[in-house]
Structure 1
């Protein structure tokens, strides 16, 4: 792993450690993305097979954060088990992972508060990066999994194709991976003014990125425009959800969009926001370019979600 990549992962981890207490309530869009993602998984079919074989349902979640997707998956499991009139001993083994220990602590607390005694007892929390899961003993010992899920995580992964190859060792043939990411036009307002941002494939590229180990089953895309009273409120929202942990260059600056001559093409690169004058100029430009008819400013998200089936017998 290069020095730059280590710096990126360290910055990313610190951003989410700081945001652990604010993330859950601030991440409205991520919560909705998690709920819609869970809807893609054909759980009833899987549970019928598991009940016939008297084997537990095994789920591995990467980058769980404070538990938005975890909550949605547990709710779906409990509802499906009840609707199918399966015996209550039909078990769920859930392994929840995140790079941030603080995020996992929040997830553990919130899951206990939400489900109480209904929370599946076989619930394991493991601090780990999504890229490292195939090398973690606590993760490997419960493989193969029926589902590996990751909501709003893969945008932080440098090589998603390599990640899916690693996960192929953990998910059973016929099992699923369930993923939500963001498209290349995500946070377009921030990109246009300040450059940087995280690289993202076009939505139709995910089938090729998954590779021969998977068959793409479902792919969905949205464009969601949020409205805020001020540009400063946009920044506060991004900080509250840890999105300020963007890739960095070796010099420590936020990575910028550059032209062929190496010049920054964004009019207000991140370093200009460190001064009052620079921040004020950035806010003025944001209002001028991205105000709506009511005088609020916009922030655009482009969520992408997909379900893929592990090939093989």
Structure 2
């Protein structure tokens, strides 16, 4: 238990997609920004004053700027693998206090061991090709007693789109998302302490399937499976998938698109020597403990 399988993702394709999406990302990423806002609210219940923060998958820097305002004395690093996203993040904050931007892959964090007090990752870790290693690397960079807070997406995400495409062809058209329980096991296997997981379902609705798929593409979340079809989709194929999607139209005449949002947090382990033995525990930093 604990080792999530490697994900067959084309990182180059995903990076290019997010790069192209940067200019209009904030207009379409309503759900991602709402998830980030809810994650920030969860920090209200944590007694933790980080000196160094890492925002993984920062995108255009909306959450990065909110973290800078919440923790005005902290040094904030913003990491993304798409340079056009970082170009927008770099403008966040004030002239004398900007985030330090890192163009890097979340599977290979370019930070020293035990150097970060808070790792914040909103809707980013589903783009890891090696989730077990990604969490192990997060555990490595977290200081003892540091906090990881993240969100990702579970298997029911885009289930309607997956079902519609399955009626058209047998190729993968939707990301392979990881189950909440597997995330929890992976956190423990990475050596992170006291993991807490929960899930919520959020649904966006659209007037037509073509607009729905266009918006998924605008936010850079198009299909990046390595076994995807590499050619352009024919108009006939798009017409067929739009027709298949009609089975989900609700009583209000809208087409739903489901997101299974996985939330998780855990703590950097603290090593203490007791009677000559090294034992692992965690600092009690949360309210009410």
Measured against the shorter chain, the TM-score band is 0.7 to 0.9
Structure 1 Cα separation of the partners of residues 210 and 146 of structure 2:
44
Deviations 1:88-141 (A, max 9, x none): xxx2111111000100111223x24xxx46xx72631010010111xx2xx339
- Larger helix proportion, structure 1 or 2? 1
- Residue 152 in structure 1 maps to residue 123 in structure 2: yes
Corresponding position of 1:33: 35
Which secondary structure does the structure 2 equivalent of 1:168 belong to? Answer: helix
Corresponding position of 1:209: 186
- Bigger CA drift: 290-299 or 13-22? 290-299
Shift of 1:306: 1.1
Corresponding position of 2:3: none
The aligned length equals 259
Corresponding position of 1:125: 101
1:7 to 1:27, Cα distance in 2 relative to 1, 3 A: closer
Which secondary structure does the structure 2 equivalent of 1:149 belong to? Answer: strand
Provide the alpha-carbon RMSD of the alignment.
2.4
- Residue 199 in structure 1 maps to residue 176 in structure 2: yes
Structure 2 Cα separation of the partners of residues 42 and 214 of structure 1:
21
Structure 1 Cα separation of the partners of residues 156 and 120 of structure 2:
23
Structure 1, unpaired ranges of 5+: 51-56, 79-90, 255-270
Shift of 1:15: 0.5
- Larger strand proportion, structure 1 or 2? 2
Deviations 1:261-303 (A, max 9, x none): xxxxxxxxxx7x822222112211111x110112221111111
Which secondary structure does the structure 2 equivalent of 1:274 belong to? Answer: coil
Corresponding position of 1:54: none
Shift of 1:69: 2.1
With the length of structure 1 as denominator, give the TM-score of the two structures: 0.76
Shift of 1:159: 1.9
Corresponding position of 1:59: 53
- Residue 303 in structure 1 maps to residue 275 in structure 2: no
Corresponding position of 1:140: 112
- Please say if residues 32 and 123 of structure 2, whose CA atoms lie closer than 8 Å, have aligned partners that are also in contact: yes
Structure 2 Cα separation of the partners of residues 163 and 44 of structure 1:
24
- Please say if residues 43 and 77 of structure 1, whose CA atoms lie closer than 8 Å, have aligned partners that are also in contact: no
Corresponding position of 1:23: 25
- Please say if residues 64 and 98 of structure 1, whose CA atoms lie closer than 8 Å, have aligned partners that are also in contact: yes
Shift of 1:199: 2.1
Structure 2, unpaired ranges of 5+: 1-5, 167-171, 272-289
